[in-house]
Amino acid sequence: MSAFAGAIQILGGLVLAPLLPGTIQALKARLQGRRGPSPLQPYRELRRLWGKTLVDPQPTTVVYRLAPCLVVAAMILALFLVPIGGLSPDWPLGNDAIVLVGLLALARFALAAAGWDTGSGFALMGSSRDLTLSVFAEALLVLALILAAAPAGSTDLVAMSAAASGSAIWGEPAHWCAGAAFALVLLVETGRQPIDNPDTHLELTMIHEGPLLEYAGRDLALLEWSAAARHWIFLLVAAELYLPHWGGFGVQLACLLTGVAVLCAALAFTETAQAKMRILRAPALLTGGSLLALVGLISRLVG
């Protein structure tokens, strides 16, 4: 069973990740009354980009050229950490939640450094916003993870997933708070509205698109895949830790699929219903999420 879970972890992550943003876009188009692109559109984009020439802005160093590879390497390692259906084979990489946070920070560092290397104002604008939000998002993420780690007594994602399975956990207010807090993290890290708008290439509003602006060809394909992998990782963590799941591996897998589908639909719905908020107001929202997580923690401690 765990070998099967491992195969989904890696192959599923590598192959299926672009399906998630594609599905969200397609659903969103439907909700907005458009026909929209097919869910497979990201694959077509990747294939097109893979065949294109690279672009080398002058003067740049090896930092700029290495960054996409490093970002994708960090994302692939992160794929190994997230369990599927509560199972993960005994990779030598462990399953620690904080290591996952660290790998995401590495990706952020590499991309921002590449932005400085080009000196492009758009890249720097995007990454400075991304880094600003990450200060609040990381605090919130860690608080949400504490709430999920509390029943398990461990930050091992497999143990956390096991502790969150079943229905007893839903009697605790802490779990509801944790889910709400993680939903906010999900919005920031996947770069969806109301925090960021993935459709825009208007420099004044973009966050995650900014650092990608100079890249072309295979570099851009790698970075586009890593953005999709970010969706995959966070949706999986959300479904494994904060959405209902129970039973053996088969049931868990079904729960996971349903959970990810529901989350995609929820993201598409949020994007349709909610306008993008001012960037400077987003930290207040995230701090509110942190307070909610603290309330959850208190309820757990005194309850």
Partner 1 sequence: MGLTLLVTGALAPVVPRGLRAAIALQAAGIALLGTGGALVLFGAPCFGAGFRSGLDPGLGVDGLTGFFLATLALVAVPAAIYARGYLAGLPRSRALVGLFGLFLLALVGVVMARDPSSFLACWELITLVPAAAILVRRSDADVRHAVFVYLAVTHLGGAGVWICVLALAHYGAMSEPAVLAAQGAGAQALIIVAAIVGFGTKAGLMPLHSWLPRAHPVAPSHVSALMSGVMIKVALYGLIRVLFEWAAPAPLWAGLVVLGLGLLSALAGVLYALSQQDLKRLLAFSSIENVGIVALGLGASILFASQGEGTWAAIAFAAALLHILNHAVFKALLFLVAGAFERAVGSLELDRIGGLLPRMPWTGGAFLVGSMAIAGVPPLNGFASEWLTLQALIHVALDPSPGLGLAGALATAGLAATAALAVFCFVKVVGLVLLGTPRRAAVEAAVEAPAGIWAAPVFLAGCCIALGAAPGLLVPSLIKLAPQPQSLTAEPGLSIPGTGSLPSPWLLVGLLALTGVLWRLRGSRRAAPTPAWACGRRIEPSLSWSSAGFTKPLRLVLESVLRPRREIEAVRHRGRLQSIRYRGEVPHLFDTLLYGPVQRGALASALVARRLQSGSVRAYAAYLLALLLALLVLARIGAIG
Residues 133-192 that bind partner 1 (CB under 8 A): 134-143, 145-146, 149-150, 153-159
Q: Using CB under 8 A, which of the segments 17-25, 130-138, 163-171, 247-255 binds partner 1?
A: 130-138
Q: Given the complex with partner 1, which of 198 and 210 has the nearer CB atom?
A: 210
Q: Is 63 in the site for partner 1 (CB under 8 A)?
A: yes
Site for partner 1 in 65-124 (CB under 8 A): 66, 68-70, 72-74, 76-77, 80-81, 92-99, 101-103, 105-106, 108-109, 112-113, 115-122, 124
Q: Using CB under 8 A, which of the segments 40-48, 185-193, 243-251, 289-297 binds partner 1?
A: 289-297
Phi-psi sector, 255: left (phi>0), alpha (psi -120 to 50), beta: alpha
DSSP, collapsed to helix, strand or coil, labels residue 177 as: helix
Site for partner 1 in 251-270 (CB under 8 A): none
Q: Which two tokens stand for residue 50?
A: 């893979």
Selected binder of partner 1 within 2, 41, 132, 258 (CB under 8 A): 132
User: Cα–Cα distance between 175 and 151 in angstroms, integer?
Assistant: 10
Long-range contacts made by residues 73-76, C-beta under 8 angstroms, separation at least 24?
A: 74/103, 74/104, 74/106, 74/107, 74/110, 75/103, 75/107, 75/225, 75/226, 75/229, 75/230, 75/233, 76/10, 76/13, 76/14, 76/229
Q: Is 11 in the site for partner 1 (CB under 8 A)?
A: no
CB 81 within 8 A of CB 156: no
Q: Using CB under 8 A, which of the segments 28-36, 40-48, 129-137, 263-271 binds partner 1?
A: 129-137
Q: Is 48 in the site for partner 1 (CB under 8 A)?
A: no
User: Cα–Cα distance between 181 and 136 in angstroms, integer?
Assistant: 12
Q: Using CB under 8 A, which of the segments 8-16, 48-56, 191-199, 234-242 binds partner 1?
A: 48-56
Number of residues forming the site for partner 1 (CB under 8 A): 89
CB of 81 to partner 1, least distance (A): 8
Nearest one of 258, 261, 265, 234 to 244, comparing CA atoms? 258
Q: Using CB under 8 A, which of the segments 231-239, 248-256, 267-275, 287-295 binds partner 1?
A: 287-295
